[in-house]
A = this chain, B = another copy of it.
């Protein structure tokens, strides 16, 4: 271990004390009616508010990076610190004690998923070019995977990449791209050989989003904001050195990204969605609505809280395992399922408690604000892999149940497309 944990902790504390303020007030303290009246899973704000938050996030990431905390587990060659996952976990838990900007816009997709993918599959030059810039807070990266026709069936991407000399020309449409409107870089899966089986004709490319032919359009979701984008690629010329992995071996690249996605979803209970399953917050909700002594409401609260607490125990235990060097397996999908279930349940529970004050904004704090969470809940069951896909993963990969027959993974993609279209 390059640095003793105790020394590391001292160093982190020194850094945080110098650059941030420690949080005050216990977790149990909730001042009902005070502070921002927002309960939501999504993060959309007015464009100017959002732009400012992105700038602040980038600045904080830069500060971390300049002080050696920007990429703790990354190789030193690319600006990383070369430390272990344990150091990272320790840093995270210490930082959580301070009021620091939310860096989710950089971290969740870019640093959490795309960074490791570039590290694993990128050419040396590309790693040098992008990794320090990403972990240094300058470049935000996004994922250009999903397409209108390739949702759960991700390996059916149709965006074409055709080689022209040292370049590839990309054409197609991507969708459900979060943070694209703030990003400078995208990781795109493209069809490079439709005559091979669908998983074997895909190639992965890093796409500079400032290139001509890249058109990013916000996609408004049902809760009102636009956390996602459609990205249209029209004759976008990408240099061959921006290819990740071999030609037609992009599915393996995608799996690296998805594996890291699984590690980041679920579990998260902080932020404006965390309130919805926080016991002190719910207690005050009941008190404010005169329902704290109603046995029917109490029972539902207890049931909701028990499920949420157990899910938190589960995530904590998974973290402990991770600390001990055990990689999370496919059973992590349970966490994602529960996260969606618990937030959904909490939203309807709150609706029951606030009653008609949820349907029209009377201005009362902590009532109509639940609508945004409520309207986010359907997305939780779909984003990052639908509930159905998660259950398939659990059944097939954890329990070893046989795959569905009649799913063709062997025929050339071109033929699959044709037959699907004629049968639909």
A227 to chain B, nearest CB (A): 32
**Contacts A/B (CB < 8 Å), 10 sampled:** A294-B295, A295-B295, A295-B296, A296-B296, A296-B298, A296-B299, A404-B406, A405-B405, A405-B406, A406-B406
The digit string for A280-297, where 1 denotes a CB below 8 A from any CB of B, is: 000000000000001110
Give the CA-CA distance A404 to B406 in the complex, in Å.
9
Interfacial chain B residues near A298, Cβ < 8 Å: 296
Q: In the complex, what's the smallest C-beta–C-beta distance from A179 to chain B, in angstroms?
A: 37
Pick from A296, A298, A404, A406 the residue with the most CB of B within 10 Å: A296
Residues of A within 8 A of B (CB): 294-296, 298-299, 404-406
Chain B residue contacts of A299, Cβ below 8 A = 296
- Minimum distance in angstroms from A161 CB to a CB of chain B: 32
A135 vs chain B, min Cβ distance (A): 47
Q: Across the interface, which residues of B come within 8 angstroms of A405, CB to CB? A: 405-406
Cα–Cα, bound, A299→B298 (Å): 12
From residue A408, how far is it (CB to closest CB) to chain B in Å? 10
Nearest 5 Cβ contacts at the A-B interface: A406-B406, A405-B406, A295-B296, A296-B296, A296-B299
Name the distance in Å between A312's Cβ and chain B's nearest Cβ: 25
Q: How far is the CB of A243 from chain B (nearest CB, A)?
A: 36
- Cα separation A274 to B404 with both chains bound (whole Å): 41
Q: A296-B298, A404-B406 are in contact. List 8 more A-B contacts (CB 8 A).
A: A294-B295, A295-B295, A295-B296, A296-B296, A296-B299, A405-B405, A405-B406, A406-B406
**Measured CA separation A296–B404 after assembly (Å):** 43
Contacts of A406 in B (CB 8 A): 404-406
A377 to B294, CA, bound (A): 31
CA distance in complex: A18, B299 (Å): 55
How far apart are the CA atoms of A404 and B407 in the complex, in Å?
11
Report the nearest B residue to A299, measured CB to CB.
Answer: B296
A294 CA / B299 CA spacing, docked (Å): 11
CA distance A294 to B296 in the complex (A): 8
Nearest Cβ in chain B — how far from A401, in angstroms? 13
Chain B nearest CB, measured from A299 CB (Å)? 4
- What's the least CB distance linking A294 to chain B, in Å? 6
Determine the chain B residues whose CB is within 8 A of the CB of A296 once the complex forms: 295-296, 298-299
CA gap between A296 and B298 in the complex, in Å? 8
- Cα A105 to Cα B350 in complex, Å, equals 50
Contacts of A404 in B (CB 8 A): 406
Distance (whole angstroms) from the CB of A55 to the closest CB of chain B: 50
Nearest B residue to A294, CB-CB? B295
User: Closest residue of chain B to A423, judged by CB?
Assistant: B402
Residue in chain B with minimal CB distance to A293 = B295
